[in-house]
Amino acid sequence: MTTRFSFTLAATDGRARTGTISTPRGEIRTPAFMPVGTAATVKAMLPESVRATGADILLGNTYHLMLRPGAERVDRMGGLHRFMNWDRPILTDSGGFQVMSLAGLRKLSEEGVTFSSHIDGSKHQLTPERSMEIQRLLGSDIVMCFDECPALPATEGEVAASMRLSMRWAQRSRDAFGDRPGHALFGIMQGGVTRELREESAAALQQIGFDGYAVGGLAVGEGQEAMFGVLDYATGFLPQDKPRYLMGVGKPDDIVGAVQRGIDMMDCVLPSRSGRTGQAWTRRGQVNIKNARHQDDPRPLDEHCTCPACTGYSRAYLHHVFRAGEMISGMLLTWHNLHYYQELMQGMRDAIAAGRLDAFVADFHAARAEGDIKPI
């Protein structure tokens, strides 16, 4: 097993890429979807179940973990991997994005951000240096730079000023991270939907030098068309030989479109969150298991899916346990959704390697256009 972090491109198809990220904690097949384990758990799933869906890596949230249970406590318990019983790679975000969403509760300066906890109102400060320290205490394998993501709507001037602040913080993050063999630090490109700002940001990050590059500031309400519009040029500003991570994306069709535009890694709470609210993601699109049309349906959610929810249970059962508020409802639907997402990623990895991604994407859209199976 390797002792260092590396990325190997195996094949490209158009702008899409497939390859392998190697870390001391295991390999990550790309394009990769990372389930989100906000509070040191992917809600409703055991770690071995998450692994069984095909996930190579999880995402943990600095903001949530620093407040509860606290980074120093996680460190005393042997680090996040041991604490949550997941021995494979973990990527942690920097806390910047979640602090942004606190809106009125945060105060921004050149030094960093001070904010009040959403849990108990206690005051905290996050700086590039503190974010690096927290992510080191957690034991994260892939550490994200501390950045600022402007709240929308923002003027182009505000987006530019925010991006340049994030670039100064990127340098401070790099300096504070230091030299940690086996661990990676990713820079985060900002610049909103303005091409020149994205290009300036990408150049500034490469000047500093990172192990991978994220596209930040998207999936914040700008819509799929605007997001794809940015990705159409933004991935071209990033080096070929480093992984590219699109943060916080997304719905299955967002993921497919991002992979077509040269993205290697993504994360989103959607499959797990949807699983707890009775929403299933399938080849044929979204299925709302709450709907009364499922109550007498003996068929599985998806007859082609090999997950436990589809091989062991009927739509009628899934409908019943959701309506009855039973915990197994969230467990089964989350498993199915994560399984579907990982199967989609595997399908794209295989298609890129075979040079037939266009045909794969055409089939993907055709199955969704057909819609869910008709009620009995």
Residues that bind Zn ion (CB under 5 A): 305, 307, 309-310, 336
- Residue 209, helix vs strand vs coil: coil
Q: How far is the CB of 150 from Zn ion (least distance, A)?
A: 39
Active-site residue (options: 13, 141, 254, 267):
267
Residue 305 CB, nearest approach to Zn ion (Å): 3
Reduced to 3 states (helix: H, G, I; strand: E, B; else coil), residue 91 is: strand
- Of 265 and 331, which CB lies nearer to Zn ion in the complex structure? 331
94 is in an annotated binding site: yes
Tokens read off for 11: 């094949």
Whole-angstrom distance, CA of residue 272 vs CA of residue 36? 8
The verdict on whether 267 is a catalytic residue reads yes
From the CB of 61, what's the least distance to Zn ion, in Å?
27
- Shortest Å distance, C-beta 133 to Zn ion: 41
Handedness of CA 206, 212, 217, 221 (dihedral sign): positive
Is residue 52 within a helix (H) or strand (E), and if so which, with residue range?
helix 47-52
CB nearer to Zn ion: pick between 18 and 272: 272
209, HSE (Cβ side, Cα atoms, 13 Å): 4
- Which position among 56, 93, 254, 297 bears the catalytic label? 93
Which of 21, 305 has the CB closer to Zn ion? 305
Q: What is the DSSP string of 246-280?
A: ETT--SHHHHHHHHHTT--EEEESHHHHHHHTTEE
Residue 14 φ/ψ region, left for φ over 0, alpha for ψ in the -120 to 50 degree band, beta for the rest: left
Residue with smaller CB distance to Zn ion, 64 or 339: 339
Min dist. Cβ of residue 275 to Zn ion (A) = 11
Instruction: Decide whether 80 or 309 has the Cβ nearer to Zn ion.
Output: 309
288 alpha carbon, distance to own chain's centre: 23
Q: For the purposes of burial, counting CB atoms within 10 Å of the CB of 292, is it exposed (0-12), middle (13-18) or buried (19 or more)?
A: exposed
> Annotation-wise, does 217 bind a ligand?
yes
Residue 295 annotated in ligand binding:
no
147 is in an annotated binding site: yes
95 annotated as ligand-binding: yes
Indicate the helix (H) or strand (E) that contains 368: helix 357-370
Do the annotations mark residue 97 as ligand-binding?
yes
Active-site residue numbers? 93, 267
Binding residues for substrate: 93-97, 147, 190, 217
Binding residues: 93-97, 147, 190, 217, 305, 307, 310, 336
Binding residues for Zn(2+): 305, 307, 310, 336
